[in-house]
A = this chain, B = another copy of it.
Amino acid sequence: MVSAFHSWNTMIYDVDRLRSKKILISGGLGFIGSNLARRLVDLGSVVSIVDSLIPEYGGNLTNIVDIQDRVKVNVSDVRDEHSFKYLIQGQDYLFNLAGQTSHLDSMRSPYIDLDINCRAQLSILESCRHYNPDIRIIFTSTRQIYGKPDYLPVDENHLLRPVDVNGINKMAGEWYHILYNNVYGIPAVALRLINTYGPGMRIKDARQTFLGTWIRNLVEGIPFEVWGGDQLRDYNYIDDVVDALLVAATSDQATGKVFNLGGHEIISLKDTAQLLVQVNGSGEYTLCEFPADRRKIDIGDYYSDYSLIHRVLGWHPYTCLAVGFRKTIDFYRKNINQYL
């Protein structure tokens, strides 16, 4: 990956608060974690990555091949309390990105999801409380915890009504962070991410986002399926999400708060597919009925109101879909074999 992929918005955060700082990224070999690591080493941070490298999850050593000499990698799982007790010591920041993100996996194996998204989060926070209470923690939550929206766009005042085990456990995990901030003074902030895409995203399957398989099929020249089609969505390009993580990390006004991210283009699934085909120059998709077992958890239209983080921290998404999709497709044209 080269810096041409970057569309940084460093104006909004204080680079001095990151330079030479010790930073731990859980899930750091995943899509978002590795892009964050790349940005941070370029800004002069001392980056350590911890990742379980579980094949079904997002971690992939290819993601850091260009920065492997500039980061320290520790393979361990967030459920391993012992390694985290050691790893968090001396760190200035923890970007706590590791998690189980698959809806289907959470319904099939609810205890695994519970152990990763609840128990491990508690144990990370307990480690910070006992061994490094001054560490700043940035937690990645998800818009999925809102469930089927009552109104659009969905702001942070919307009730949380998760529609799967994963959503419930992520909701709890988010709140543990806010609680430890409020009660123990461990500075923590949570961002509720929407569909994030870009170079490094998981395309092997739909465990992270349906966009992954769409892009894979496009690049491989295979038609892809669009379930439904009229549902409205928003998306964030990876560089915008990295911006948000860094502004949340470096702003005192973020502490103890929960912020939505969100996209500035609201687009139907069908039009998303159409745009991808157009950017790619070719490709086919078929519109299908929503499968019966998924219909129960279909949330219909969804897009986020990100005015709070804009107002408080100055963040807004920067990359338009046509540009982001082009960068992503170009990346997978070159690198698809490392992601299958």
Contacts and interface: CB of A to CB of B under 8 A. Distances in A.
Contacts of A172: 118, 168-169, 171-172
Contact of A179 (B168, B175, B179): B168
A165 B179 contact: yes
Contacts of A122: 110-111, 114, 165
A21 interface: no
A210 interface: no
Interface stretch (A90-98, A155-163, A237-245): A155-163
A296 B172 CA distance: 20
Interface in A154-208: 157, 159-165, 168-169, 171-172, 175-176, 178-179, 182-183
B107 A126 contact: no
A159 B162 contact: no
Given A110-B126, A111-B119, A118-B118, A162 B183 contact: no
A297 interface: yes
A163 B182 contact: yes
Contacts of A179: 162-165, 168
A176 B296 CA distance: 15
B175 A171 contact: yes
Given A159-B157, A179-B168, A118 B114 contact: yes
Specify the main secondary structure of chain A where it touches its partner. helix
Nearest to A174: B168
Contacts of A114: 118-119, 122
Contacts of A296: 182-183
Interface string A29-51: 00000000000000000000000
7 contacts: A159-B159, A161-B175, A161-B178, A168-B176, A171-B171, A172-B172, A182-B296
Contact of A107 (B107, B165, B169, B183): B183
Nearest to A156: B159
Interface string A146-157: 000000000001
Contacts of A118: 114, 118, 172
Contacts of A159: 157, 159-160
Contact of A165 (B111, B160, B161, B176): B176
Determine which residue in A110, A160, A172 has the highest number of CB atoms from chain B within 10 A of its CB, and name it. Answer: A172
A37 to B, nearest CB: 30
A182 B157 CA distance: 23
Contacts of A171: 171-172, 175
A176 B172 CA distance: 12
A195 to B, nearest CB: 22
A263 to B, nearest CB: 24
A168 B183 CA distance: 13
A174 to B, nearest CB: 9
Contacts of A162: 175, 179
A126 B109 CA distance: 10
A166 to B, nearest CB: 10
Nearest to A145: B175
